[in-house]
Amino acid sequence: MESLFSDQDFLDKNSGNNFADIILPVPIPRMFTYKIPKNLQPLIQIGLRVIVQFGRKKVLTGIIGKVHNKPPQAYEAKPILDILDDQPSVNPLQIRFWFWMAEYYFCHIGEVMFAAIPSGLRLSSESKIQANPNFDVESSKYPLDVREEKILEALEKKEELSYEDCEQILGIKTIHPILKSLVAKEAILIFERVQEKYSPKVETRIRLTAQILTTKGALEAIFETVQGKPKQESILLKFLRDVPVFNKPHLNEKGVEKSTLLEDGDSPSSLNTLIKNGVFESFKHVVNRIEEEAAEREASVLSSTQQAAFDEIKSHFETKQSVLLHGVTGSGKTEIYIKLIQEVLESGSQVLMLLPEIALTTQIVGRLKQVFGSQMGVYHSKYSDNERVEVWNGVISGRFPFVVGVRSSIFLPFDSLGLVIVDEEHEPSYKQFDPAPRFHARDSAIMLAYFHQAKTLLGSATPSFESYYNANQGKYGYVELNHRFGDATLPEYHLSNISADRKKNLLKLDSTRLLREKIQHALENQQQVIIFQNRRGYSPYVQCEDCGWTGQCVQCDVSLTYHQFAEELRCHYCGYKEKIPPSCPACGSTQLSTQG
């Protein structure tokens, strides 16, 4: 598909431009043109977050996608209200990637933006009410009822109220009709209070004042002052124990956390007295929510087989953008990944490694952390909104040149990707079904690498048909690892004939005699047993006992699987789902039963 946008559209050309096209998180297939106020023109850059009015009442966070001098023909451009960033939160390469995704997956650019930006970087707005200064109760031709008077009385004591405040004042949950009436009587004004969701984590720290630190003999004099005041003396001694300013005065700048000085039950009032007397000063310090971890080990030395595979991958990268690494389970693909990552990081480029599901791959994340330590960030939905924003900002600042994450990690603000690794590339969890964009993270990662002129390594013990086909056609490089690393051996397996056991009447609880014997043997040896069942959901289908109706997918014409936890029927081919009906859609009977 030919792109609607050229590379020139994403160049940061902001000097002397009066209009900006803003990407907004709405399902409409275009950007929206806004006027750049003169005071903001020197600050405007592509990728900055801005606040704009959308429609009559909505206030949204948008991303500057383009700057120009062409006023819109169909409407009068509204002004940009404010800029949220000092530096762009999104870079031009990301925006280009967003537009590709919108075109390729048939969705809107606003939907891609909504999926890409962490919710902590989007604005939250809350409706607030305040008294209309031009309203006079006595001269108003509209009488107020008792509840309306209570709201106005509350506004005399407090400048503004939220909807929740009003509900608590009146003790009711349906506040909208009352506020609507007050607006009609011109007694109140309703407005949107806009604020950022993300807030940095700060802690209060304590340090000596500059006067005490630099004045000769001042600290000794303080000790004389606090003699006979054991609580103040205890706090002072504790500070000097943690911050040895006599030998290392530069440590005073960072100080010590306030809670540390008070953790042994020392009095906050004693600390406040020392602050009031000019001994200490308190200050706010921004701290990282994501803890720093030092690297604990060097990368392992590759075996001869692994080294040969590594060299073959490097050779393919000289002529091809993507390589498929087909390695059996336990062949040591992770160690090859590590060596490739090290080389790319040493060259000054960034690395993205995709995993199908962080919760199921904690072992590999732990191994990578041991080697890369604080260079490595982890990005997934289990993190809080604020933690995800800190990883996002860490990629921009260079704190995390290497990120491991799930499919949403492809949206991170990389500006110099050198390598993208997609581990277990065959996994279906790389596909997003709902909401839009309905994308495949593996395919999107290959395109992301293309935009960065980076390389892509796809790893799997059971490659997908698409990747295997592309490798056979010569589109991808292909490298095999057929042997397990070290002394690892493949698990022993046995085939059990269910039909034969059924004929001999040896089948019990749908299990063969061989299976029962193996389970019993494992339990007797204090070992664990896992039984895998090749079925998803609680029941393969739901059927009406009266007429035989079964739920069918409206798109695939296959039976819908019943999932008990969500009380819904799902199609495992296309992702369609619907709530289980209370009665049979065909005959109206309530006799619905799960089958299989």
Residue 163 has a CB neighbour count (10 Å cut-off) of 15
User: Sorting pLDDT into bands at 50, 70 and 90, what band is 2?
Assistant: very low
CA torsion angle for 439, 443, 447, 449 (degrees, to 10)?
Answer: 120
- Collapsing DSSP states into helix, strand and coil, what is residue 262? helix
* Region 219-243 average pLDDT: 82
Q: What is the pLDDT of residues 306-348, one digit of tens each?
A: 999 999 999 999 999 999 999 988 888 999 999 999 999 999 9
According to the model, what pLDDT value does residue 292 have?
A: 66
Helix (H) or strand (E) holding 67: strand 58-68
Look at residue 276 in the predicted model and tell me its pLDDT: 87
Who wins on pLDDT, 330 or 467?
467
- H-helix or E-strand containing 35? strand 32-35
User: Residue 306: enclosing H or E segment and its boundaries?
Assistant: helix 304-317
The DSSP H or E segment spanning 569 is: strand 568-570
Residues 159 and 224 sit within 8 Å (Cβ to Cβ)? no
- Integer distance in angstroms from the first to the last C-alpha of the chain? 45
Please state, in angstroms and rounded to a whole number, the distance separating the CA atoms of residues 63 and 34: 12
Cβ atoms within 10 Å of 484's Cβ, excluding its own:
16
pLDDT for residue 199 is more than 80 = no
**How far, in Å, CA of 403 to CA of 492, rounded?**
36
Kindly report whether the global pTM for this prediction surpasses the value 0.75.
no
What is the CATH topology of the domain spanning 304-481? Rossmann fold (3.40.50)
Tens of pLDDT, residues 115-149: 999 888 876 556 788 898 888 888 888 889 999 99
Residue 224, pLDDT score:
78
What the block records as the tokens of 11 is 């160049």
Amino acid 291: pLDDT: 67
Q: Which position has the higher pLDDT, 89 or 534?
A: 89
Give the pair of three-digit tokens for residue 246.
Answer: 């006599």
The residue with greater pLDDT, 10 or 274, is 274
The pair of three-digit structure tokens given for residue 562, joined into one six-digit string: 């019943």
CATH class of 126-196: mainly alpha
Q: pLDDT value at position 335?
A: 93
> Can you list the positions of beta strands (E) in 182-229?
188-196, 201-208
**What one-character DSSP code corresponds to residue 33?**
E
Structure tokens belonging to residue 69: 């001098």
HSE-CB at 92 with a 13 A cutoff on CA atoms is: 13
Biggest CA pair distance of the chain: 99
Q: Which amino acid is at 207?
A: R
| pLDDT-derived band at 255, boundaries 50, 70, 90 | confident
Q: Computed from CA positions of residues 481, 483, 485, 490, in that sequence, does the dihedral angle turn out positive or negative?
A: positive
Question: How large is the average pLDDT for residues 337-363?
Answer: 90
- Which residue, 21, 128, 124, is CA-closest to 72? 21
Given pLDDT bands bounded at 50, 70 and 90, which one contains residue 293?
A: low
Residue scoring higher pLDDT (484 or 3): 484
Mean pLDDT over each residue of the chain, to the nearest integer: 86
Whose CA is closest to 565, among 588, 536, 589, 533?
Answer: 536
What would the pLDDT profile of 422-432 be if each residue is shown by its tens digit? 999 999 999 99
- Give the pLDDT score at 45: 93
The pair of structure tokens assigned to 201 is: 């984590």
CA distance 277 to 257: 19
Asked if the model's pLDDT at residue 219 lies above 80, the reply is: no
Smallest CA-to-CA distance from 300 within 147, 428, 485 is with 485
Give the closest residue to 44 by CA, choosing from 69, 66, 70: 66
Q: What's the residue count for the chain?
A: 596
- Evaluate the omega torsion of the peptide bond into residue 42 and state whether it is cis, within 30 degrees of 0: no
DSSP 492-542: P-----HHHHHHTT--BTTB-HHHHHHHHHHHHTT-------S--SSBSEE
Domain boundaries 7-117, corresponding CATH code: 3.40.1440.60
pLDDT in tens, 371-423: 998 899 999 877 778 888 899 999 999 999 999 999 999 999 999 999 999 99
Domain ranges of the chain: 7-117, 126-196, 202-287, 304-481, 533-596
Does position 467 have pLDDT exceeding 90, yes or no? yes
Model pLDDT, residue 249: 82
Task: Tell me phi and psi for residue 326, to 5 degrees.
Answer: -100, 95
pLDDT at residue 174 in the model: 79
Residue among 455, 486, 459, 478 nearest 305 (CA): 486
Task: Look at residue 362 and give its three-state secondary structure.
Answer: helix
Q: 12 pLDDT band (50/70/90 cuts)?
A: very low
554-568 confidence digits (pLDDT tens): 888 888 999 887 888
- Assess contact for 133 and 187: CB atoms under 8 A: no
* Nearest alpha-carbon partner for 189 in 222, 152, 236: 152
What DSSP character marks residue 344? H
> Do the domains at 126-196 and 304-481 have one common CATH topology?
no
Going by pLDDT thresholds of 50, 70 and 90, the confidence category of residue 355 is very high
What's the per-residue H, E or C state across 315-334?
Answer: HHHCCCCEEEEEECCCCCHH
pLDDT digits over 513-532, tens only? 888 889 999 999 999 998 88
d(CA 441, CA 427): 10
Mean pLDDT of 194-207: 72
Which amino acid is residue 441, in one-letter code? A
Rounded CA gap, 564 and 580, in Å? 10
Residue 588's pLDDT is what? 87
Instruction: Tell me if 274 sits within 8 A of 229, measured CB to CB.
Output: no
Place of tokens 């619907």: 578
CB of 97 closer than 8 Å to CB of 363: no
